[in-house]
Amino acid sequence: MEEGKSFPIVQAERLAKQVTANDGSSLSLLDDIDMAVAAGESVAILGASGSGKSTLLGLLAGLDTPSSGRVLLDGVDLCALDEDGRAALRGRLLGFVFQSFQLLPALTALENVMLPLELKGDRGARASAEETLRRVGLAARIGHYPRQLSGGEQQRVAIARAFAVHPKLLFADEPTGNLDAATGALIIDLLFELNSEQSATLILVTHDVSLASRCQRRLRLDGGRLQA
């Protein structure tokens, strides 16, 4: 990219994903997706269950590869990278928050948050992880394992893990889907508070209209297609 020119931090061009069904037929999950997200923007992707939301998020993050089309992250074409290259780019740019928390059960809260920092070679991983866990209200729980934490506490650990690396881009896939309404509301507040502090770009997948309303822009998927 030329110096001084701005470009979307995330861009999808004619993105499509097909898979083979059990009967051998081709099943289209996503079709002809064009979208661009500016740096610092918050975007919600809405849609019913099975509309392709999580599939789209996986493609945008380089966790899966499209059948056709391409995705550019921070100006880099994911399709031009091999699996190791995509993983390296994710490690440099991205943080993730999942509905199912995705914590490693054999690691404590502190160790779960330290892991991505250690993978980046951060020598201050422990101090950074401790500070981020304190920031999400879990200073007294850093030595606890996921099984010893409530669902809300596990999601706070997951949020701490995502933000500890100071990502330029945060993906959240139904971050309140496994939480009760009250706990989910607290998690939403925390997510947007930290996101604002770090000026990260946020793309979240949700079926929750109230959560989506907190974002600057909302996109809707229906049958694998983006609706205006």
pLDDT per residue as tens digits for the range 82-116: 999 999 999 889 998 888 889 999 999 999 999 99
9-62 pLDDT, tens digit each: 999 999 999 998 888 888 899 999 999 999 999 999 998 888 889 899 999 999
How many domains would you assign to the chain? 1
In a domain, 5, yes or no: no
Element (H, E) at 86: helix 83-93
Span 114-127, mean pLDDT? 91
Classify the C-alpha dihedral 66-54-85-12 as positive or negative.
positive
Evaluate whether residue 1 is within a structural domain: no
Two tokens at 55? Answer: 């599939």
Residue 4 lies in a domain: no
CATH number of 164's domain: 3.40.50.300
In a domain, 3, yes or no: no
Residue of 135, 144, 189 lying closest to 166 (CA atoms): 135
Which pLDDT belongs to residue 3?
46
pLDDT of residue 1: 42
Average pLDDT, the chain: 90
Q: For residue 56, what are the contacts with CB-CB under 8 A and spacing of at least 6?
A: 12, 15, 30, 33, 45, 205, 221
Q: Residue 36 falls within a domain, yes or no?
A: yes
Q: Looking at the predicted structure, is the pLDDT value of residue 228 above 70?
A: no
Residue 51 lies in a domain: yes
Range of the domain at 36: 10-227
Whole-number pLDDT of residue 4: 41
Least confident of 114-118, 149-153, 185-189: 185-189
pLDDT of 5 higher than 70: no
Q: What does the chain come to in residues?
A: 228
Give the separation between CA 47 and CA 44, rounded to whole angstroms. 10
| Within-domain flag for 68 | yes
> Does residue 223 have a pLDDT over 50?
yes
Residue 2 inside a domain? The answer is: no
pLDDT at 122 over 70: yes
